[in-house]
Structure formats: C-alpha cells, structure tokens
Structure 1
C-alpha cells in the first residue's frame, strides 16, 4: 500500500486515457495547498495533491531537508521520488502516466519523476523550482525524446539559489521541449498569469 497522504479529484481516473496531474507542494506546506489550483487545470483531468514524506518540527512537510540551498543531498531526493512512484503504482496503477506539477521543492520533485521514469510522464510543470545536479537514469533518454516541460518563475524570486537557476536554465533546454516564462513583479509564488499559461500548456500537451 502507498504511504503518502493525498487529496484527490472527486472522480480520479474517470478518463482512463488521461494522465493524472500530480500536485507537489513546496517546503513547509501540505497536501491541501496546491489542491487549490485544481479549478485552474483543464477540465476533465484527474489530479492528486500529495503530502511530502518528511514532517517538519513546526508543521508542514518537506520532500527533502535543506542542507546547501540549491544543491540538495541526492539520497533523500531519490527516496522522495521513490515514495511518489510507490504511491502512483499503488493508487493509480503500475502503468499509469502522470503530469507532475510542482512548486519550489515540489518543482524539483516534478523533474525527478521525469528523470527517473520518463516513459510514464506525459508533461512536466515546474513553478519556482529547479533541477538537481548529477545524473539520473532517464537523462540520456530525455536528451533524445525532449518531452514537454513548462518552467515558470517570478522575476523577483530570490528564494532559489542563483547557481540552481543557472543549472536549470542549461539542463532543461538540453533535455526537454521547454516552455519558459518569467513573470514581472512576481516573487516566490504563483500568480494568475502563470496559472493561465499552465492551463494552456496542459491543454496542449496532456488534455488535448
């Protein structure tokens, strides 16, 4: 059985051909946070908002501890990715495809799902997040297939370390068909313009 807690769409899997959008929250948040984005998703797409496995002392959860900002320890990142895939296999099925949408730490986890099992990821959305360093099992495949990835970030976002942004800006174009957007006036968050762009992206690559 899966161990991660989740909030799910009222009728998950109603369209068996549609990938499930996995909503992956940021550091210190919880499974109910990004569930609020569900009304902004294309209609008819099943979704699930997962809670990260690491409970924090003052509330909320995290996918991995913050050691060096922008350069996480690979072991807990891999463990978190394994936990997400275990949930997907148990709750959605071992052949289910997903479209991970993550914010901040959750954005990194969205790319980890893509990099570990690329054949099961229909499209990836990274909001205010980044790509971890090092090699992953699916990187060579991704360099050849270039699946669709949306990367959005605020022009005023100072939370993500600059070296992590530089790494992401180099890695994504080499491993994906990238849609990149920077939003004026936005800090470390998500605004209406970004949500509209995400909906357009998912409509084109997942719901179409």
Structure 2
C-alpha cells in the first residue's frame, strides 16, 4: 500500500471511464490511462478501440485544476516557482497508487500516460516497482531526483515504452536529456523517436504501442 500525506491529492472514482463493467473485467490485466495537462479522462480513452482487447482499461481524471483560463485538469502544477517540482509529481503518483490499490488490488496493472500522465506513470513505477507490470510514456519524461524504488527498478528492469517526436517543443530539453540517460539503466526500454511529430500521438506511434502491449500480454499470460 502507498503512504499518503495531507498534501496528497485524491482521485475521483466517480469520473473514471472503464472499458468494461466490474463483472467482465474481473481477473483481466488492467491498463490505466493518464491524460496530459489541461485535458480530461475522455482524451486517451478514445485510443482504447485501437489497443488490445485482452486488457481492461480505466481512464482516470487528474485531481487538480490548472490556473484560469486553461481548461481541463492537471496532475501537478507547472506554473511559477513550483513548476515541475518533483514533490508534486510524487504526490500525484502516490494518489494514483492509492486509487489502484483500492480498485485493482489483485490483478496485473500497467500504466499508459501522455505528457504529464507519462511523467506520473514513471513516478508511480518508481514508487511501487512491484505493483506495476510495465509503463508506456508518450511525450513525457522521468522526473529528476532519487526515489527509494530506483535501485529495485535498476535490478528488475521493468518494460517501459517511451515515444516522443523530434518537433516536440513542450518538454524542456533538459528533461529529455535526463530521461534519455536515466531510462536505459533502469528499464527494459523500447524507445521510439518519430521524425516531425509534435507534442502529440501519431498512428505509427500507436501501432508501436500496440505491439509493445501485445508483448506484455504474452508475458502476463493474457
């Protein structure tokens, strides 16, 4: 179980989008979808028809509201002096782990996140390496700083897919450089760089993600 502090946000169970009802998802591996900054749970849920149907899917809503006039929701603040503060990413990841502990305590769980959601997915993997089977990080990054699970990850090397575009001007170069250096030493990395892709997801990337997920299903016996 994860440890929560008074500053840990809480995910709203009532706004989660599920690909299957509780009866038909029982026992199936779960893939949790984490949207990006200023978006919502319906964003990545639209990808579900193009992904392997052996998974049950849950698209969750980030717990914070960005400053006006940005719409949607965010996992952590990126404005002002606290922008991309590692402690805020960790708090978001802790909230995610707590929610997963409640709704899926006994099934294999993978994470798929875009941008902020990608950063949170990797942070959750680092917080609870034994809890997650793999992570998919689309246009995101690894948060700088050390976490207690990093040594475990470096030894177990969980599967991670990291995709990004050469024309992505949203994620700072320093974070891309950090991720490029960190992931190969801590994960069984499937890395893809897509020429001309901006801060978005392409059909080719989703095709590569599907191949990655099908490989994970083979490992899980799904």
TM-score, normalising length from structure 1?
Answer: 0.92
* 1:13–1:118 CA distance, 2 compared to 1 (3 A): farther
2:111 is matched with: 100
| From 65, 68, 71, the counterpart of 2:77 | 65
- 1:51-130 equivalent positions in 2, closer than 5 A: 51-56=61-66, 57-58=68-69, 59-67=71-79, 72-93=84-105, 95-130=106-141
Aligned residues: 207
Residue 156 of structure 1: aligned partner? 167
Structure 1 counterpart SS, 2:99: helix
**Structure 2: distance between partners of 1:153 and 1:68:** 25
- Whether contact under 8 Å (1:101, 1:126) holds in the other structure is yes
* Unmatched segments (≥5 aa) in structure 2: 1-9
Partner-residue secondary structure (3-state), 1:43: coil
Q: Could you tell me how far apart the structure 1 residues matched to 2:192 and 2:102 are?
A: 34
Query: For residues 166 and 2 of structure 1, what CA distance do their matches in structure 2 show?
Result: 31
The two structures have a TM-score, normalised by structure 2, of: 0.86
C-alpha displacement of 1:91: 1.7
The DSSP-based 3-state class of the residue aligned with 2:47 is helix
Q: Relative to 1, partners in 2 of residues 1:129 and 1:68: Cα closer, same or farther, differing over 3 Å?
A: farther
The 2-side partners of 1:143 and 1:13 are apart by: 37
1:46 matched residue in structure 2: 56
The alpha-carbon deviation at position 3 of structure 1 amounts to 3.1
Decide whether the 8 Å contact of 2:27 with 2:107 is kept in 1: no
Q: What are structure 1's unaligned runs of at least 5 residues?
A: none
Whole-Å separation in 2 of the counterparts to 1:13 and 1:178 = 34
In 2, Cα distance between the equivalents of 1:25 and 1:74? 18
Q: Distance in 2 between matches of 1:200 and 1:188?
A: 21
The alpha-carbon deviation at position 6 of structure 1 amounts to: 1.1
Residues 128-153 of structure 1: per-residue CA shift (max 9 Å, x gap): 00000011121000111111100000
Give a deviation string over 1:84-143, Cα, whole Å, max 9, x none: 1121122222x4431100000111011011101111111110000000001112100011
Counterparts of 1:3-14 in structure 2, within 5 Å, are 3-4=12-13, 5-12=15-22, 14=24
Q: Which residue of 1 aligns with 2:33?
A: 23
